A and B are shown apart, each in its own frame.
Chain A
Amino acid sequence: MTSSAKRALRVLDIVNAAASPIGVTAVAELAQTPPGTAFRSLDALERCGFVTRYRASTQYTTGEATSRLKQSLFAKFRLRDVCLPFLKRLTYATSETTTLTVPVGWYGVRVAVVAGTSAVRSAAASGLVGPLTQDFASKAILASYSDEELTRFRAASKRLGIPKALFDRLELELGEIRRLGYATEPVDFAPGRVALALPIRWQGHAIGAIGLNGPVIVSATGPAPADLALWNEAIAEIEQLIAAQPELADNPFAHMDPMEIVLNTPSSLGGSTRYR
């Protein structure tokens, strides 16, 4: 059973990582198996709903079962339920797309998105996975880690595909995030303005971060006090809810050693995925 089942899971990985629908021959090449073998794996995957034919062609793409499993896993992060009303509130207040990112091992995973109300808004997709250095929301989480945890994170950097140069300035960046209480990221289409992420803390650790994915702050002057107060108030309310019901902070992978958790990210897959 092991070899054919593992082969099917490998083929599933290939279809998932493909930037566009993929045919049997290409799958066979990537899986280093004869086309007939690749087809049998694809057939099993298709019958179980893990892959599907792209517009009734001979090309395959991810199926409904993969999406169902992923959504099922997202639902295990109860922080998502707690934060959704607050994401909506912040979206209405800023008109920008808001997101919730949670830590999974040394990775940040975006588990919720509320689309901005502006006519033009950031198109942040949920499901984004990357090392905890991938964006401002992940860095807002990383900044709460102890020196010991950061040393372990650094030890995993090669596997995570983080360039050494990034680490040279990371310490300064994390120090700044700790000082300000939030992380920022330049917005390329709005020079002089930055997006912002606020950590959600529980027992001294960031268990998630809310990102305001738009040019909400003028970098030169910092956030308007009234805006910052409103954003911090939302975070404080979330933290109060968690304090009253600590199980809301449960992370289904908190019991695992971060070193054991390996996720496919755009860099680990040669940048050929559909992640955004």
Chain B
Amino acid sequence: VRTNIGPSNGRAFLLDEMKSPAAKTTYRNQAAQRVLIVLDTFAGVDKPLSVAELVRMLGMSRNMIDRVLTVLGDEGYITRDKSGKLFQLGPRILSFASPETEDHDINALCRPYMEMLHELTGESVFLMIIVGRNRVTVDKIEGTGRRIAHSERGLAVPLHVGKASRVLLAHLSDSQIKSYLQTAKPLSEFRNLFTDTAGDSVDSVWDDIHAIRRDGYIAWRSPQQYGGSYLAFPVLDHEDRPHAVITIGAPIERFPPERVAELLPRIRQIMAQLQIRARLQPAAPILVTSPAA
């Protein structure tokens, strides 16, 4: 079970608050909050949940979870799954009249989290998606200061060129990647334009792909003396297909390895919150066309 991280930040806060000594003196309709927290836990989980899992995730007693599930079940918000042993969201949720956008908009989804990343780091944040055989920058927030990392909106970069591109490439299937790399030869074609990955071979592309899949992100520095330092994270759907990549970039002097290490946990927290939302929408179908197409 993929546990919630995003909304659970708020959830964890509410749970902590309910346990605090002040809670005993401040009336906060805790019973209702408890029920709502349990209900909210079902958002963004891939599988039905057992009572034991809810106990572990929320730190409430088994008895409490049982009672909450009874209330939510009576009202149709939660129902048993087909096994009869686990719990899932009930059909009543479909009655929620939340206004839904007609089309899934990756820019709108990512923008608030890009703003959080920018606020945290003060540096440039870019949103890039796959278009055909390229990654294209579709949104950006530029950093502050005399020198900033820059990426032109609309800039198309081949999927094997640059580490940020490889974050997208890494989340295609192996056969799609092989087919792409086969037709992308020679890989050195763009080395004068994109120095980060100049001189890379098919093996080094695969090395990056394995590292990205293992770590969930990639960090790198451009080879120039006064170049940039970058971090890139994928935004994935529930089947780990890529919606986009978010890259944070800065001049190396402002974003050295020690600062990256210091900020990384908080950056990952923000990205995890975005990830919860992203998993609720299927990624647009990826059609890595042949060069002729």
Which residues of the other chain, B, contact A123 by a CB distance below 8 angstroms? 102
Within 8 A of B (CB), among A223-276: 252-256, 261-265, 273-275
Interface status of A75 (Cβ within 8 A of chain B): yes
B97 contacts which of A1, A43, A84, A274 (Cβ < 8 Å)? A274
Mark A35-61 against chain B: 1 for CB-CB distance below 8 A, else 0: 000001101110111100000000000
Q: Known: A62-B98, A255-B82. Is A1-B35 also a contact (CB below 8 A)?
A: yes
Q: How far is the CB of A246 from chain B (nearest CB, A)?
A: 14
Interface status of B171 (Cβ within 8 A of chain A): no
A1 vs B29: C-alpha distance when bound (angstroms): 9
Interface status of A68 (Cβ within 8 A of chain B): yes
A107 vs B281: C-alpha distance when bound (angstroms): 23
Nearest residue in A to B48 (C-beta to C-beta)?
A252
Within 8 A of A (CB), among B49-70: 67-68
A262 contacts which of B76, B88, B280 (Cβ < 8 Å)? B76
A190 vs B98: C-alpha distance when bound (angstroms): 30
A97 contacts which of B11, B102, B238, B284 (Cβ < 8 Å)? B102
Give 11 pairs: A residue, B residue, CB < 8 Å, sorted on A. A1-B31, A9-B71, A41-B29, A62-B98, A65-B7, A70-B96, A75-B282, A84-B282, A105-B91, A255-B81, A274-B97
Q: Known: A7-B32, A41-B29, A49-B10. Is A125-B99 also a contact (CB below 8 A)?
A: yes
Interface status of A134 (Cβ within 8 A of chain B): no
Q: Known: A4-B32, A62-B97. Is A263-B92 also a contact (CB below 8 A)?
A: yes
Would B29 and A70 count as touching, CB distance under 8 A?
A: no
A108 vs B78: C-alpha distance when bound (angstroms): 19
Would B97 and A72 count as touching, CB distance under 8 A?
A: no
Would A74 and B280 count as touching, CB distance under 8 A?
A: yes
A71 vs B28: C-alpha distance when bound (angstroms): 28
